[in-house]
Structure 1
């Protein structure tokens, strides 16, 4: 039987003796009495910290769990940060939540604490998508915002996304400053939980209308939509918040044949019809694909619980529905936007797009061909939002995104937005159909023109304290002993984003990387393959992003070329020992 670290017991004991409710204390005492030391250790071995997605974890008692006390402490720390940052000012924040279990409770606790600290709260009176929270922060001129969500994580999880005054999630040095304020809170007695009703203002449909009206102004091909208004679009919110706005956005764009997956339209934090509420997983789209086959649909859309990510399925050249991965959907969105903007004469040389370093470099190649700047940021949409704010009023943002199914068109928000993305995915499907092409055929045409880029994400789950230590050891091994060859091609470059240096492995030449510090390694081979290793900031995983590319001679050669590239990825991952 595992022995219990005395410091873990001491921390648990502080909760038993502290000003916590009886139910929480009973759960902790039961873990001790049952000698459930692994569970107790995982609950207390650390304090939850802000990662690339904010505060996120499994719900339950303990400092490493999401509960009313960790939510309250985070909010008190954020409130203290805001009052120090904006002394003497009347501060306001916006708060929203998704469909997860306890998300409404946690949002009210967040509002309680802010209001008790004399901070004005714009409080969404019902569940809303994450991007609308970002929009509200900007619209109301708030200094901060909070979204209660764990995005696409399993039902046991919940989380807390904190936003700055630009509507984007906090970035350095502000994220560290918030964490510092949270860390200063040594007792739950320092958290002000006493709600002040006068400081809370409910918002809802009024903001919906403004947000949707702004989204509608972004459409690039309204005439194509008019001609293809009967495009059959199957949509599933996977029991999440997308049901509140995605159908309305599609209707506003002009689509008249939106088919809902009825079994998944009711918000439900247990996500009863799926194993995992993630549109990246084929299983989560099972019902949507069934509905699409029954109705002979043109497009399948599915959004995650907080409606910031969207997965899609389209018919291939054999008429069978296939899921596009995040890189493929991002590629086609950018290809469509660049093409449509060019046709409308809107490309002036001052436009730009943004993606992350682990997102397909086919996007960079397309942007270069259109004389549009493509910026690369660290993983995490907050870095894309940061760059957008930096260039606001100087350059024109067309669109951007990341391989993990998150995209943004227009600059009304500073986070990935499945509401506007769903509308634009439908628009681009109508655009290509209007030209006599399916979206899948348009993807193949893009590969023929620019090169066939194939990406694959391999994730290894390492749970708990032991798992976290294993992930650290793996990264150190790769950092200190980089592979000499991957997939039959020499590794020519090592990019270490933690040390912020790029090393030419042949010459030993070192050049700086002009991005913030992040625990990411990239291996670049002589034949253009790029392999990135990155511990997740929101899940107990280490992720390997593998990108290979080659020439696609014709659309007919797609299947065979894909098979060859897939085999190359498998070889590379074996070479890495993964």
Structure 2
């Protein structure tokens, strides 16, 4: 979930002030990025999350520093893992907002499409990433390549896709904030985010406004990730029973939503509940189940060892910044209702 903190510092529109945040070893990257007209500074993080991703708790010291010094954009980078996260201002001089991996991927994908530089581009994405990416891609006749991509394994997944698409540029995103582009190195991807912020600020906007435009044209998707402890054997059995029941008889979920389809990644099949038809799905052998509803909700359940993670995505239409704020609050309530229901079932 995105986090905010108020920023009261005045904004200098003439110089793009960028704070690059990293654990260590990014001095050369920052030096190269600072060669242009932008004011780029490095902020070293002391705290690291268990999985290496950048979350609000990890980024808070950098956000506080950026507020104090009047920075416009924060880019957190882990060059070794090709992982990045961005913290944007909600409009020029506005509050800071930490974007999630879904939002960052959507921004980069849309920016690369709009550039017109990457003809016949292919999109590789984790199945756990938002359907927002699918909407953006398909509007530009790009067919997404969905895969089960383990943490820190985007590079190997991308190499396989490149082998099959030697003449096409490939862009790739994983749920763990990994970002790759076959025609760009990591430094160039970061530089393009800085360039985008600079372009938006000439219009008295920020990357946040660029994201809003994506939502206006493709729908507003809000995501939530919930992890449940399954260290007790009885809980593991309950999860297995729930997933089996959903796969066999999904209509029992209709007390809370109308199911449109269920994808069973273990069996490699997708059931369309509305037409009662079953289709082959290109991924099989993975203990993952995805539920999609008529209301635009998707829930992906991923049990691994002694934990269950479910990824919830809900959708709403927005056409103004004001509508975005109200829809954001409404979807928070919808997600809370879904989480409560799932916790009772599991």
Of the three residues 323, 326, 330, the one matched with 2:105 is 330
Give the count of matched residue pairs: 323
Corresponding residue of 1:387? 161
Deviation at 1:460, TM superposition (A): 2.4
Q: How does 1:40-55 map to 2 (within 5 A)?
A: none
- Offset from partner CA, 1:325-360 (integer Å, 9 cap, x none): 11111111111111122xxxx464x22222122111
Work out whether 1:481 is the aligned partner of 2:255: no
CA contact (8 A) 1:312 1:324 kept: yes
CA distance in 2: counterparts of 1:315 and 1:280, whole angstroms: 17
Corresponding residue of 2:3? none
Corresponding residue of 1:365? 135
Work out whether 1:552 is the aligned partner of 2:324: no
Q: How does 1:311-322 map to 2 (within 5 A)?
A: 311-317=85-91, 319-322=94-97
Deviation at 1:281, TM superposition (A): 1.7
Q: How does 1:136-535 map to 2 (within 5 A)?
A: 230-238=15-23, 240-241=24-25, 243-251=26-34, 254=36, 256-262=38-44, 264=45, 272-273=46-47, 276=50, 278-304=52-78, 306-317=80-91, 319-341=94-116, 346=117, 348=119, 350-380=120-150, 381=154, 382-393=156-167, 395-397=168-170, 399-411=171-183, 419-462=187-230, 466=231, 472-482=236-246, 484=251, 485=253, 488-505=256-273, 508-535=276-303
Deviation at 1:434, TM superposition (A): 3.4
Which stretch shifts more, 524-533 or 298-307?
298-307
CA distance in 2: counterparts of 1:565 and 1:486, whole angstroms: 19
Structure showing greater radius of gyration is 1
Distance 1:229 1:494, change over 3 A: same
What TM-score comes out, normalization by structure 1 length?
0.51
Distance 1:261 1:328, change over 3 A: same
Secondary structure at 1:261 match in 2? strand
- Offset from partner CA, 1:131-182 (integer Å, 9 cap, x none): xxxxxxxxxxxxxxxxxxxxxxxxxxxxxxxxxxxxxxxxxxxxxxxxxxxx
Distance 1:412 1:300, change over 3 A: closer
Secondary structure at 1:358 match in 2? coil
Deviation at 1:305, TM superposition (A): 8.4
Which consecutive unaligned segments of at least 5 residues does structure 2 have? 1-12
Distance 1:461 1:237, change over 3 A: farther
Deviation at 1:497, TM superposition (A): 0.7
Distance 1:568 1:249, change over 3 A: farther
Work out whether 1:542 is the aligned partner of 2:311: no
Deviation at 1:283, TM superposition (A): 1.0
Corresponding residue of 1:565? 331
CA distance in 2: counterparts of 1:365 and 1:437, whole angstroms: 24
Distance 1:329 1:412, change over 3 A: closer
Deviation at 1:509, TM superposition (A): 2.7
Distance 1:541 1:428, change over 3 A: farther
- Offset from partner CA, 1:80-114 (integer Å, 9 cap, x none): xxxxxxxxxxxxxxxxxxxxxxxxxxxxxxxxxxx
Deviation at 1:245, TM superposition (A): 4.4
Corresponding residue of 2:7? none
Secondary structure at 2:98 match in 1? strand
Deviation at 1:546, TM superposition (A): 0.6
Which consecutive unaligned segments of at least 5 residues does structure 1 have? 1-227, 265-271
CA contact (8 A) 2:236 2:306 kept: no
